[in-house]
């Protein structure tokens, strides 16, 4: 922890035998990277033992702002990325000019283990691309919650849900809510997306719970702060997750006992 880093708030983190997480990712946006066509090849030679599968992809994104200061969506520039994937598909690295993304798919390890993977990959990027600073860090956890039953009360499982007045029928079909939340660790921007998802079978209802924490950085010389920023983002996500679900939802995940 750096001298200016504040202690993390005390947030009890539950461990589950069947956690609903399907993907976690950390994205780091840099400035001033020494980038040319040789960088992805050099990076690949360093990681190919663990990430032997290499591919290229084009990413086109549209940003939908939630704040009142921007009225319209913004089309972001198309990004050319290189992707390196493990043989079992459980983890991948995405690389572009001034961008590093580490995606963790199933099986998801404990956060402490995944954080070390992020740090190791970051160290390699800084050695190969030599960026001058970090401008933004994003941490995102995507969960799918499967609830037995063809028809359920959403409020039995989630504390955030659409409430329909009786004058409009009192019930609803598929939905998607996106909310800007107040993070427990300040100076972060946290977005919660919750909604219905395609079910695994007709007798199951499935829900998406997507929590995305962004840290915009005014001081780009933040390499020494990254570990603490990741811990803060994780704390924000855990806090939001635990207070979005109910005890009935937790019973689906099988809370692990602590020895």
**What pLDDT, on the 0 to 100 scale, is given for residue 71?**
54
Which of 110-114, 138-142, 184-188 is the most confident on average? 138-142
What phi and psi values does residue 196 have, to the nearest 5 degrees? -75, 150
* % residues pLDDT > 90 (the chain): 71
If pLDDT is split at 50, 70 and 90, which confidence band does 8 have? Answer: confident
Three-class DSSP category at 30: strand
Q: What is the pLDDT of residues 23-72, one digit of tens each?
A: 999 999 999 999 999 999 999 999 999 999 999 988 765 555 555 555 55
The average pLDDT across 189-210 equals: 94
Can you tell me whether residue 197 is helix, strand or coil? strand
pLDDT in tens, 171-188: 778 899 999 999 999 999
User: Angle, nearest 10°, between helix axes 39-47 and 111-129?
Assistant: 140
In Å, what is the CA distance from 128 to each residue of 47, 66, 147? Answer: 12, 36, 46
Question: Residue 149 pLDDT more than 90?
Answer: no
Region for residue 254 given its phi and psi (left: phi exceeds 0; alpha: psi -120 to 50; beta: otherwise): left
C-alpha span between 25 and 104 (Å, rounded): 6
Amino acid 66: pLDDT? 54
Tokens of 218: 């005014």
List, for residues 73-83, the tens digit of each pLDDT value.
Answer: 555 567 789 99
**58 against 235, higher pLDDT:** 235
Average predicted confidence (pLDDT) for the chain: 89
Q: How far apart are CA 29 and CA 77, in angstroms?
A: 14
Report the chain's C-alpha Rg in angstroms.
20
The number of angstroms, rounded, from the C-alpha of 11 to the middle of its chain's C-alpha atoms is 18
More reliable by pLDDT, 205 or 62 = 205
Neighbours of 109 (CB within 10 A): 14
In this prediction, residues 100-113 reach a mean pLDDT of 95
- Per-residue pLDDT averaged across 109-116, rounded? 94
DSSP type of residue 108: P
């Amino acid at each position: 922890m750096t001298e200016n880093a504040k202690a993390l708030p005390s947030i009890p983190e539950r461990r589950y035998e069947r956690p609903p997480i399907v993907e976690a990712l950390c994205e780091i946006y840099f400035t001033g990277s020494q980038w040319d066509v040789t960088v992805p090849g050099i990076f690949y030679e360093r990681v190919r033992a663990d990430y032997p599968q290499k591919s290229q992809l084009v990413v086109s994104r549209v940003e939908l702002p939630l704040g009142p200061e921007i009225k319209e969506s913004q089309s972001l520039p198309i990004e050319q990325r290189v992707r390196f994937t493990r043989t079992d598909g459980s983890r991948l690295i995405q690389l572009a000019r001034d961008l590093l993304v580490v995606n963790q798919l199933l099986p998801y390890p404990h956060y402490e283990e995944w954080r070390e993977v992020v740090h190791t990959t970051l160290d390699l990027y800084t050695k190969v691309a030599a960026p001058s600073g970090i401008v933004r860090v994003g941490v995102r956890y995507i969960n799918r919650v499967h609830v037995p039953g063809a028809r359920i009360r959403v409020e039995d499982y989630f504390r955030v849900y659409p409430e329909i007045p009786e004058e409009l029928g009192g019930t609803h079909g598929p939905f998607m809510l996106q909310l800007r939340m107040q993070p427990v660790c300040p100076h972060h921007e946290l977005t919660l997306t919750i909604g219905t998802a395609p079910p695994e079978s007709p007798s199951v209802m499935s829900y998406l719970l997507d929590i995305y924490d962004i840290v915009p950085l005014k001081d780009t010389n933040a390499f020494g702060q990254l570990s603490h920023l990741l811990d803060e983002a994780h704390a924000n996500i855990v806090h939001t997750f635990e207070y979005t679900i109910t005890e009935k939802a937790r019973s689906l995940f099988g809370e692990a006992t602590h020895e």
